[in-house]
């Protein structure tokens, strides 16, 4: 049986094709692409690309589960399930004992608590505010004129941070422009920004209750500076899957 | 299933006009006995002009209600406010300052439940009667008050019946429809509404689900004034069964029929001698001892109430709905969450802004919660 | 930095680095000891400041000592009753405010956030709740609050009661909305009932003679406070760092004690001294040459005194380091009075103590309709001849900010501009210094133009 999971987020869309025939379990193909302005088009696009990559035809797919913010708008999906259940299922696939999932996406972030069977039992979402999401880091990287990929290196190499007091992305941007103007080292600002985003996440983690093992997913999980900062403050080891951006789509395919 | 509501009352009494009210601790009996039609202000309009009177971080329901009054004060002969919360207190002040032609009264509701509080509340109710008389109402005698009590009790009993049917067979009523009917019960002419509801309850039951078994994923909704069509539609779309409720615009409005057995003898002990005051005391006691609002002092009693409800109806999860900036309700959540954790009952916390909800985000959260439980 | 400031900073750092109840208790024991207080006493900027600190520290030390029963109280309670019952009062809202000044607010607010206290709640209460969750406050034996001034106190205090397992020792006083003889009677009954209950639980009886003595002491404090307030109708030359908003703890929490009376007597004597200097400046006394320093304060010229703009400060102020008051001083603006310093209650009758305290509570301008607050402010505006008023609109303070428009319009009617400063008294992150300074500057320009 071949199932498909499609995760349409506000920034990126993913599709995963899963081959579960003959007791196998294999990711036949996965695709990540920007969502752009049309979530329906984006879903169709990643689905078709995944089919091409895997060599399967549409008829061979027994179920298509849609998840993410655009899940209600995919007419060719057979089912829709929220990204809470899908991320939980996807994570458990990589790290079966996971008890807490931290997902930081382009425009939202969430913390999901799992029971001993890997089922979600509680969750918290922040989708009202850019602080604590990938967008926050993007805006700041632009203001600093530094690549996001350089954050990890700078974070590791810098010892002292400067505190960013603004909690709002817009005001934080003004704040760092002002800091640069006052001659504060960019490296210290980068370090401060990483801690800023982790503070928002930690606030959610504390409300829900931290339980190890913890797994991080979403595009921002690829930013090792953020992962490291979270590990440092929470004093734990955080697992990150090989491709953290597809856990939602993978989970959706597994639940199909 | 809707019938046209005739605004003219069934009896021959001329209604003197509408008196608006905001909080369920306002006894409609007294308004009706004075010859007025009580009509709850439900924050229909989106806040616009009212933003000029309140700070940004202020109860959105109050802002919408102020907008309603700014737009249509002439619909009402007067408005009864209560000191239910800081927001309401300032709403009353702003109403008097900026809509001066609309007579407004502040009903002082105590936070405690004891003999001093009862005396306090009866004293407030007597002042309310004077206000209504000064606003052109009748001075009611015992007969008028008894009549009013009877008609209000009847309405509440019918609403309780409706609520029971809703709980046992939600699909036959529909979540959005249920709350619409409740809104009408608080705003329309009492006699006409009673007639309508009797007809509705006696009529054929639309049985989309013929099973009378309690729902497998029954939730309890707890909150303040939550009356968003789009929100309740989501419950319908997701087939989320509401097996118990504790809300300002539903249970806290009609669960005020008889005195709990623990209050036996309170009225006799109150020392009121004349029959009229005894009736007022009855009203006061029923109000103070009904399933209480989060603004009341004894939150421990409220937690116990909710725990009993959860056990009685086999509740699988609690959906906690609050208007943003409502300190009384929002500060109840830490206590409630602790109790629910001890009972192993998961809860979903949703904060909304009256007339300004993000349906997509709420749908995701509710759907995820239902997937969990 | 003066020695007193250095000591204060040292203590703050110590507490920040060793944040627990036992350490706080230890520090309080040390600094409240007689010799230490005397030694430090001389280093304070002003006598008022010195007595304020001494009595506040002693009051806190008593609360932490576990030697006396402790009761949490909300701000506008008749604390005379606490003292009559031998209970040591602890005011979480005020001490929550202190966390701002001590640089602890970040941590207490973070703790509150992780325990599901809504982030839209006033930070005085949020910080106090966070401190309780962190175990920083002394354990209470009783918790007392009232429906004045706000909802937040009633709810957070109940949560505290649950946390300490003393729900049966939590009391909420219902102050009737309108003042009337019936209201006084209802409130007096409540106070008497609560008092009996507490006394019974303490295993003692309230001594009526002792109670009468407390009431008399409160009247003495009231007399001095009124004298201070009257003097301030003329005073423009204040002692260094004097700020009427710093005296909230003794004004409420120590009402009925000898310390409150003594404090206000000393404030009066000190301000009287400064008034004499001020009169000397105006009459051209060569002893007070402009530019010289008198007790740490630069002597202004007579002209400067004449040109001083008089400000009424409404509600509360930010407790973290800020430049609002320095900006006012630099522009020759003086806060001649604060809403919080208003003696709003009549003389208390020691023969009828419960009634007297009921009258005290019912006289609070923050009770009931906003008309009461407006009338109090208009009276102050007239008596102090103010040029402008500033309302610090603390985030989440709905009882106050909900009436801001009415306050502004009421003052506009008597031609007095009101500046509404949106900010947060404790959370620096929720307040923008740049924005506040800009607004204050704009206001100063408006008032200067008019006068």
| Cβ(B116)–Cβ(C185) below 8 Å | no
Kindly state whether residues A9 and A69 are assigned to the same domain. yes
Cis, bond preceding C149 (omega within 30 deg of 0): yes
| Sheet containing B219-223, strands listed edge to edge, beginning at the edge strand earlier in sequence | B242-246, B219-223, B317-323, B347-352
Query: CB of A122 within 8 Å of any CB in chain B?
Result: yes
Question: What's the domain range around A146?
Answer: 97-240
Kindly state whether residues A73 and A105 are assigned to the same domain. no
Its ipTM equals: 0.95
Task: Please state, in angstroms and rounded to a whole number, the distance separating the CA atoms of residues B342 and C356.
Answer: 45
Task: Please state, in angstroms and rounded to a whole number, the distance separating the CA atoms of residues C243 and C317.
Answer: 10
The Cα of C152 is separated from the nearest Cα of chain B by a number of Å equal to 6
Domains B18-140 and B146-255+292-372 share a fold: yes
- String of DSSP letters for C53-95: HHHHHHHHHHHHSSSS-EEEE-TTS-THHHHHTTPEEE-HHHH
Query: Which of A69, A84, A78 is closest to A248 using CA atoms?
Result: A84
The Cα of A153 is separated from the nearest Cα of chain B by a number of Å equal to 36
CB pair distance less than 8 Å for A120 and B371: yes
Give the model's confidence band at A3: pLDDT under 50 very low, under 70 low, under 90 confident, else very high. very high
Task: Please state, in angstroms and rounded to a whole number, the distance separating the CA atoms of residues C31 and C434.
Answer: 37
The Cα of B345 is separated from the nearest Cα of chain A by a number of Å equal to 10
Which residue is closest to A126 within chain B, CA to CA?
B361
Kindly state whether residues A33 and A113 are assigned to the same domain. no
Give the list of residues 6+ apart from residue B246 with CB closer than 8 angstroms, or none: B220, B221, B222, B223, B252, B291, B305, B306, B309
Cβ-Cβ contacts under 8 Å between A and B: the total is 34
End-to-end CA distance of chain A: 10
- Best to test chain C binding among B58, B66, B80, B86 (most C CBs inside 10 Å): B86
CB pair distance less than 8 Å for A166 and C116: no
Q: Which long-range contacts (CB under 8 A, 24 or more apart) does A197-202 make?
A: A197/A104, A197/A131, A197/A132, A197/A136, A197/A137, A197/A226, A198/A226, A198/A229, A198/A230, A198/A233, A200/A109, A200/A126, A200/A131, A200/A132, A200/A167, A201/A102, A201/A104, A201/A109, A201/A111, A201/A132, A201/A230, A202/A230, A202/A233, A202/A234
Query: CB of A25 within 8 Å of any CB in chain C?
Result: no
Per DSSP, the three-state class of B148 is helix
Give the list of residues 6+ apart from residue A82 with CB closer than 8 angstroms, or none: A67, A71, B364, B367, B368, B371
Give the closest of C114, C429, C432 to A203, CB-based. C114
CA atoms within 13 A on the CB side of B21: 26
A127-136, B125-134, C18-27, C432-441 — which one is most confidently predicted on average? Answer: B125-134
**Which chains form contacts with chain A, at 3 or more CB pairs under 8 Å?**
B, C
- String of DSSP letters for A87-150: HHHHHHHHSTT--EEEEE-SS-EEEEEE-TTS-EEEEEEE-S-STTSHHHHHHHHHHHT--GGG
Query: CB of B346 within 8 Å of any CB in chain A?
Result: yes
Which residue is closest to C401 within chain B, CA to CA?
B55
A120 or B185: whose pLDDT is higher? B185
Query: CB of C430 within 8 Å of any CB in chain A?
Result: yes
Kindly state whether residues A134 and A255 are assigned to the same domain. no
Give the list of residues 6+ apart from residue A204 with CB closer than 8 angstroms, or none: A109, A110, A111, A124, A126, A132
> Which of chain C's residues have a Cβ under 8 Å away from the Cβ of A166?
429
Query: CB of A168 within 8 Å of any CB in chain C?
Result: no
Res B207: pLDDT = 55
Which residue is closest to C154 within chain B, CA to CA?
B297
Ordered by start, the domain boundaries in chain B are 18-140, 146-255+292-372
Q: Give the model confidence (pLDDT) of B328-350 as tens digits.
A: 999 999 999 999 999 999 999 99
**Which chains form contacts with chain C, at 3 or more CB pairs under 8 Å?**
A, B
Res B45: pLDDT = 93
Query: CB of A85 within 8 Å of any CB in chain B?
Result: yes
Give C 367-396 residues with CB within 8 A of chain B: 369-371, 393, 395-396
Kindly state whether residues A33 and A71 are assigned to the same domain. yes
pLDDT at B10 over 70: no
The Cα of A90 is separated from the nearest Cα of chain C by a number of Å equal to 27
The Cα of A206 is separated from the nearest Cα of chain C by a number of Å equal to 5
Kindly state whether residues A221 and A130 are assigned to the same domain. yes
Question: Which run of H or of E encompasses C334?
Answer: strand C333-338
Question: Which segments of chain C have a pLDDT < 70?
Answer: 1-2, 4, 41-42, 451
Look at chain A and report how many structural domains it folds into.
2
Residue A67, number of CB atoms within 10 A of its CB: 32
Res B3: pLDDT = 42
Give the closest of A82, A120, A122 to B364, CB-based. A82
Pick from A148-162, B140-154, B310-324: least confident: A148-162
Give the closest of C189, C399, C409 to B90, CB-based. C399
Task: Please state, in angstroms and rounded to a whole number, the distance separating the CA atoms of residues B177 and B205.
Answer: 14
Res C2: pLDDT = 66
**Which chains form contacts with chain B, at 3 or more CB pairs under 8 Å?**
A, C
Kindly state whether residues A53 and A72 are assigned to the same domain. yes
CATH 3.10.20.440: does it fit domain B146-255+292-372?
no
Pick from A150-154, A177-181, C216-220, C447-451: least confident: C447-451
Residue range B253-267: mean pLDDT, rounded: 76
The Cα of C165 is separated from the nearest Cα of chain B by a number of Å equal to 11
Kindly state whether residues A129 and A144 are assigned to the same domain. yes
Cβ-Cβ contacts under 8 Å between B and C: the total is 126
Kindly state whether residues A201 and A252 are assigned to the same domain. no
Res B281: pLDDT = 94
Give the list of residues 6+ apart from residue B320 with CB closer than 8 angstroms, or none: B221, B222, B223, B333, B336, B347, B348, B349, B350
- String of DSSP letters for A73-93: G-TT-SEE--HHHHHHHHHHH
Query: CB of A167 within 8 Å of any CB in chain C?
Result: yes
Q: Give the model confidence (pLDDT) of B356-367 as tens digits.
A: 888 888 999 999
The Cα of A82 is separated from the nearest Cα of chain B by a number of Å equal to 6
Query: CB of A207 within 8 Å of any CB in chain C?
Result: yes
B108 or C106: whose pLDDT is higher? B108
Res C43: pLDDT = 73
pLDDT at B62 over 90: yes
Res B2: pLDDT = 43
Q: Which long-range contacts (CB under 8 A, 24 or more apart) does B279-284 make?
A: B279/B142, B279/B145, B279/B146, B279/B149, B280/B122, B280/B125, B280/B126, B280/B145, B281/B118, B281/B122, B282/B149, B283/B27, B283/B29, B283/B30, B283/B125, B283/B149, B284/B118, B284/B121, B284/B122, B284/B125
Kindly state whether residues A110 and A136 are assigned to the same domain. yes
Task: Please state, in angstroms and rounded to a whole number, the distance separating the CA atoms of residues A126 and C281.
Answer: 61
Query: CB of C162 within 8 Å of any CB in chain B?
Result: yes
pLDDT at B119 over 60: yes
Task: Please state, in angstroms and rounded to a whole number, the distance separating the CA atoms of residues C68 and C139.
Answer: 11
Q: Which long-range contacts (CB under 8 A, 24 or more apart) does C414-417 make?
A: C414/C378, C414/C381, C414/C382, C416/C381, C416/C386, C416/C387, C416/C388, C416/C389, C417/C388, C417/C389, C417/C443, C417/C446, C417/C447, C417/C450
Q: Give the model confidence (pLDDT) of A95-117 as tens digits.
A: 999 999 999 988 889 999 998 88
Q: Give the model confidence (pLDDT) of B158-202 as tens digits.
A: 999 999 999 999 999 999 999 999 999 999 999 999 999 999 999
Query: CB of B324 within 8 Å of any CB in chain A?
Result: no
Query: CB of A70 within 8 Å of any CB in chain B?
Result: no
Which residue is closest to B357 within chain A, CA to CA?
A128
Task: Please state, in angstroms and rounded to a whole number, the distance separating the CA atoms of residues B163 and B182.
Answer: 10
Res A139: pLDDT = 87
Which residue is closest to B118 within chain C, CA to CA?
C186
- Best to test chain C binding among B51, B85, B90, B117 (most C CBs inside 10 Å): B90
Kindly state whether residues A124 and A5 are assigned to the same domain. no
Task: Supply the CATH number for residue A57's domain.
Answer: 3.30.420.40
Question: Which run of H or of E encompasses C429?
Answer: none
Res B261: pLDDT = 67
Per DSSP, the three-state class of A21 is helix
Domain B18-140 belongs to what topology? Rossmann fold (3.40.50)
Give the closest of A83, A119, A127 to B361, CB-based. A127
The Cα of A204 is separated from the nearest Cα of chain C by a number of Å equal to 7
Q: What angle do CA B199, B202, B205 make, to 5 degrees?
A: 115
- Cα distances from C94 to residues B213, B353, C23, C153, C245, in angstroms, run 54, 31, 20, 12, 11
| Cβ(A18)–Cβ(A39) below 8 Å | no
Kindly state whether residues A213 and A103 are assigned to the same domain. yes
Res A122: pLDDT = 83
- String of DSSP letters for B262-317: GGTTHHHHT---SHHHHHHHHHHHHHHHSSPPTTSS-HHHHHHHHHHHHHHTT--E
CB pair distance less than 8 Å for A167 and C429: yes
Query: CB of B361 within 8 Å of any CB in chain A?
Result: yes
Question: Which run of H or of E encompasses A237?
Answer: none
Q: Give the model confidence (pLDDT) of A14-72 as tens digits.
A: 999 999 888 777 899 999 999 998 999 999 999 999 999 999 999 999 999 999 888 88
Query: CB of C409 within 8 Å of any CB in chain B?
Result: yes
Task: Please state, in angstroms and rounded to a whole number, the distance separating the CA atoms of residues C84 and C196.
Answer: 12
């Amino acid at each position: 049986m071949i199932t498909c999971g499609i995760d349409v987020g506000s920034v990126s869309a993913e599709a995963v094709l899963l081959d579960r025939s003959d007791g196998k379990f294999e990711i036949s193909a996965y695709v990540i692409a920007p969502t752009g302005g049309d979530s329906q088009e984006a879903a169709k696009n990643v689905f078709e690309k995944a089919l091409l990559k895997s060599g399967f035809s549409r008829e061979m797919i027994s179920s298509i589960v849609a998840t993410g913010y655009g899940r209600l708008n995919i007419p060719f999906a057979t089912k829709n399930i929220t990204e809470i259940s899908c991320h939980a299922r996807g994570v458990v696939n990589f790290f079966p004992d996971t008890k807490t999932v931290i997902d930081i996406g382009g425009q939202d972030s969430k913390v999901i608590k799992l029971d001993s069977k890997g089922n979600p039992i509680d969750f918290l979402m922040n989708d009202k505010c850019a602080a604590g999401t990938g967008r926050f880091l993007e805006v700041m990287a632009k203001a600093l004129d530094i690549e996001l990929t350089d954050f990890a290196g700078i974070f590791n190499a810098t010892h002292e941070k400067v505190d960013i007091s603004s909690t709002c992305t817009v005001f934080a941007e003004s704040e760092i422009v002002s800091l640069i103007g006052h001659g504060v080292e960019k490296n210290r600002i980068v370090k401060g920004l990483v801690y800023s985003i982790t503070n928002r996440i930690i606030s959610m983690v504390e409300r829900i209750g931290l339980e190890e093992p913890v797994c991080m997913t979403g595009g921002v999980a690829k930013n090792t500076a953020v992962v490291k900062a979270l590990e440092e403050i929470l004093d734990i080891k955080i697992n990150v899957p090989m491709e953290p951006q597809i856990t939602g789509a993978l989970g959706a395919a597994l639940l199909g | 299933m809707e019938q046209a509501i005739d605004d003219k009352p069934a009896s021959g009494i001329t209604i003197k006009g509408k008196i608006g009210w905001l909080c369920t601790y306002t006894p409609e009996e007294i308004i009706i006995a004075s010859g007025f039609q009580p009509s709850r202000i439900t924050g229909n309009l989106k806040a616009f002009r009212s933003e000029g009177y309140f700070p940004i971080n202020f109860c959105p329901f109050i802002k919408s209600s102020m907008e309603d009054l700014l737009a249509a004060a002439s619909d009402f002969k007067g408005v009864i406010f209560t000191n239910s919360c800081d927001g309401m207190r300032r709403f009353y002040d702003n109403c008097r300052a900026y809509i001066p032609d609309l007579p407004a009264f502040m009903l002082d509701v105590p936070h405690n439940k004891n003999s001093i509080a009862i005396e306090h509340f009866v004293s407030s109710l007597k002042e309310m009667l004077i206000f209504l008389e000064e606003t052109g109402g009748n001075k009611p005698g015992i007969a008028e008050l008894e009549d009013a009590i009877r008609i209000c009790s009847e309405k509440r009993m019918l609403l309780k019946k409706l609520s029971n049917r809703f709980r046992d067979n939600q699909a036959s009523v529909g979540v959005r429809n249920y709350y619409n009917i409740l809104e009408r019960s608080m705003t329309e002419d009492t006699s006409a509404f009673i007639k309508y509801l009797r007809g509705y309850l006696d009529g054929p039951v639309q049985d989309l689900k013929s099973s009378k078994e309690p729902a497998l994923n029954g939730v309890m909704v707890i909150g303040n004034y939550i009356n968003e069509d789009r929100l309740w539609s989501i419950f319908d779309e997701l087939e989320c069964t509401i097996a118990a409720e504790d809300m300002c615009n539903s249970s806290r409005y009609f669960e005020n029929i008889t005195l709990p057995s623990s209050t036996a003898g309170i009225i006799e002990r109150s020392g009121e001698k004349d029959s009229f005051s005894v009736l007022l005391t009855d009203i006061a006691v029923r109000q103070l001892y009904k399933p209480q609002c989060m603004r009341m002092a004894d939150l421990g009693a409220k937690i116990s109430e909710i725990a009993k409800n959860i056990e009685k109806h086999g509740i699988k999860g609690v959906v906690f709905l609050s208007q943003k900036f409502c300190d009384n309700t929002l500060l109840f959540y830490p206590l409630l969450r602790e109790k629910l954790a001890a009972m192993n009952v998961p809860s979903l916390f949703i904060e909304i802004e009256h007339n300004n909800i993000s349906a997509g985000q709420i749908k995701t959260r509710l759907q995820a919660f239902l997937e969990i439980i | 930095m003066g020695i007193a400031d250095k000591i204060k900073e040292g203590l703050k750092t110590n507490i920040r680095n060793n944040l627990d109840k036992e350490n706080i208790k230890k520090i309080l024991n040390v600094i409240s000891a007689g010799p230490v207080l005397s030694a430090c006493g001389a280093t304070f900027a002003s006598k008022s400041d010195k007595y304020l600190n001494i009595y506040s520290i002693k009051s806190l030390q008593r609360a932490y000592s576990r030697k006396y029963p402790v009761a949490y109280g909300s701000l506008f309670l008749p604390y005379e009753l606490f003292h009559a019952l031998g209970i040591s009062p602890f005011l979480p809202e005020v001490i929550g405010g202190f966390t701002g000044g001590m640089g602890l607010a970040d941590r207490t607010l973070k703790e509150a956030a992780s325990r599901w206290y809504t982030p839209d709640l006033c930070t005085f209460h949020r910080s106090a709740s966070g401190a309780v969750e962190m175990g920083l406050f002394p354990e209470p034996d009783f918790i007392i609050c009232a429906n004045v001034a706000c909802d937040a106190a009633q709810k957070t205090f109940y949560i505290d009661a649950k946390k300490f397992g003393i729900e049966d020792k939590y009391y909420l006083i219902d102050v009737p909305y309108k003042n009337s003889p019936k209201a006084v009677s209802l409130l007096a009954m409540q106070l008497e009932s609560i008092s009996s209950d507490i006394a019974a639980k303490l295993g003692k009886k309230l001594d009526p003679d002792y109670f009468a003595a407390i009431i008399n002491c409160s009247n003495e404090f009231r007399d001095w406070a009124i004298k201070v307030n009257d003097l301030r109708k003329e005073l423009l030359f204040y002692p260094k760092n004097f700020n009427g908003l710093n005296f909230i703890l003794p004004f409420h929490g120590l009402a009925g004690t000898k310390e409150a009376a003594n404090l206000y007597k000393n404030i009066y004597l000190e301000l009287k001294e400064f008034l004499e200097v001020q009169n000397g400046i105006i009459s051209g006394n060569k002893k007070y040459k402009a530019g010289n320093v008198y007790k740490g304060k630069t002597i202004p010229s007579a002209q400067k005194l004449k040109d001083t703009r008089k400000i009424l400060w409404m509600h509360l102020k930010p407790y973290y380091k800020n430049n609002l008051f320095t900006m006012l001083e630099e522009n020759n603006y003086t806060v001649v009075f604060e809403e919080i310093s208003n003696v709003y209650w009549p003389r208390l009758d020691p023969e009828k103590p419960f009634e007297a305290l009921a009258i005290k509570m019912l006289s609070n301008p923050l009770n009931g309709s906003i008309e009461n607050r407006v009338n109090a402010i208009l009276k102050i505006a007239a008596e102090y001849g103010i040029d402008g008023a500033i309302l610090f609109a603390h985030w989440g303070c709905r009882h106050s900010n909900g009436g801001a428009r009415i306050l502004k319009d009421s003052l506009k009617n008597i031609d007095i501009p009101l500046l509404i400063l949106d900010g947060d008294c404790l959370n620096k992150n929720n307040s923008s210094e740049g924005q506040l300074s800009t607004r204050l500057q704009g206001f100063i320009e408006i008032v200067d133009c008019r006068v």
